[in-house]
Amino acid sequence: MKQSEYQKYDAVALADLIRRGDVSSREVCEAAIERADQVNGSLNAICFPQFSQALEQPYNKEAPFAGVPLLLKDLAQEQEGQPCTYGSRGFKNNIAPRDSEFVRRAREGGLLFLGRTATPEFGLKAVTESTLWGPSRNPWDTGLTPGGSSGGSGAAVAAGIVPMAGANDGGGSIRIPAAYNGLFGLKPSRGRISSGPFAGEAWTGASSDHVVTRTVRDSAAMLDVLAGPASGDPFVIPPPPEPYADLMRRAPDKLRIGVFTSSPYQTEVAPECVEAVEETARMLENLGHHVEYARPDFDGMALARCYLGLYFGEVSVLMEKAKTEFGASEDDFELDTRLIGMLGRTLPLPEYVSRRQQWNDFSRALGAYFGQFDLYLCPATGQLPAKIGELDTPSHLQFAAKLMLALKAGKLVHKSGQVDQMALENLARTPFTQLANLTGTPAMSVPLHWTSAGLPVGVQFGGAHGSEGVLLQLAAQLEEANPWFSQYERLEEGIN
């Protein structure tokens, strides 16, 4: 199979070709490896190649994705006997003792593991730039970030190395790279895909695993492979009435969709992101849906503080794990990570509990909103992709160092405006995604808009808990009305 031919197919189509005997799995994998060799030097998307292993990996020939290559994210998608670094020097000795539930199910689905994709340290940023692996780059413009934290996966799929790649989303990390790379990215409901066996609820329930894809049907079919509880999971949510791959083939009923474009954190939103939403709203009306400007009624700054409490606490625990289990030292972590960890260690426990309890307020507000609307539509991100290195400015690093010194000296408390301001600066580029994480509701980024300079701009839809079927139906309808697959042809001849 020629590489140029390989890139014209999504994962469902490749599996069908292999099943019919039109092409062998080895030929498909060789085409994927050839593409990786061609572009990964420019993109730095794959941090652990497993090319030779993929060619020899046995697979279930009756499985839905039999013989199709997949890249795993190097964060929480543990593969037995392989390192899982979380993008951190502190986790470089983390060798998985067994497969995660994600990997086990992907393997049972017939997928072949081509390697692992880069992520920022602990998946903490909306850019994929780590001291361990260096910066990953956006295939639409290699001077820009592919987003984060699933940025390596986003770049690899957009560039045609694989038709889909593993991702996870604790604050937007599926939807942000999807938006920046012109991909489809669905974050499932809390509990839809098991986080086992190493976690009951990843990031206290804020994070979900799934994939980034070029097509809606790949995402739906992969959700069928991955969904469902594992033994010991904290709760079970009802399965869909039929497979998602079948559900998405039917057009949705007429939907009531609420639209908003202002940032919940009162930060600036780029005009291109607003234009993408407005253009999508007109498309929805033409498809017969009811569209109305309305936003959920919740305290945006409270949401930011609650998310940051989670952020601080999780990082401090990960750092401690790296030190006690893998022999890491403080110097093994990046400056921002050390600061966040220190904020976690000094956050008073009653304040952490109070912030965690406040997640309920956002869920109730969103529940009231879904009493009026089926879905919401808003920007996927607040800004276009940052330039490589743009967020590691000397002034930012100096400010972080000053905050660390103030914390060490006991001169800074969490109610300080300095802490909130630093944290808001980190969230300002992507203020629309955290709501779905804290409420455990599904949300998706759909690539419906490109700028005059040729950059993709995603729009975000969110629904009530368990509404992945409706989201996928709408996404498939939009994909048919405004096909985006042909856009990838611009990347086939080489990376900018």
The burial of 32, by beta-carbon neighbours within 10 Å (0-12 exposed, 13-18 middle, 19 or more buried), is given as: buried
**Residues 444, 445, 448, 453, Cα dihedral to 10°:** 180
**Annotated catalytic residue, options 25, 88, 130, 149:** 149
Q: What is the Cα–Cα distance from 114 to 51, expressed in whole angstroms?
A: 5
Q: Amino acid letter at 141?
A: D
195 given a catalytic annotation: no
173 given a catalytic annotation: yes
DSSP 345: H
Are 68 and 18 within 8 A, CB to CB?
yes
149 given a catalytic annotation: yes
Residue 339 tokens read as 């600061």
**Annotated catalytic residue, options 88, 173, 189, 263:** 173
Q: Could you give the count of Cα atoms lying within 13 Å of 81 in the half-sphere of its Cβ?
A: 2
Residue 449 tokens read as 């808009």
| Strands 208-213 and 164-169, sheet pairing | antiparallel
DSSP 138: B
Q: What is the Cα–Cα distance from 355 to 350, expressed in whole angstroms?
A: 9
Q: What is the Cα–Cα distance from 270 to 328, expressed in whole angstroms?
A: 40
CA nearest to 493, candidates 20, 159, 190, 184: 159
CA nearest to 78, candidates 175, 185, 201, 166: 166
Residue 250 tokens read as 């039917």
Active-site amino acid positions: 73, 149, 173
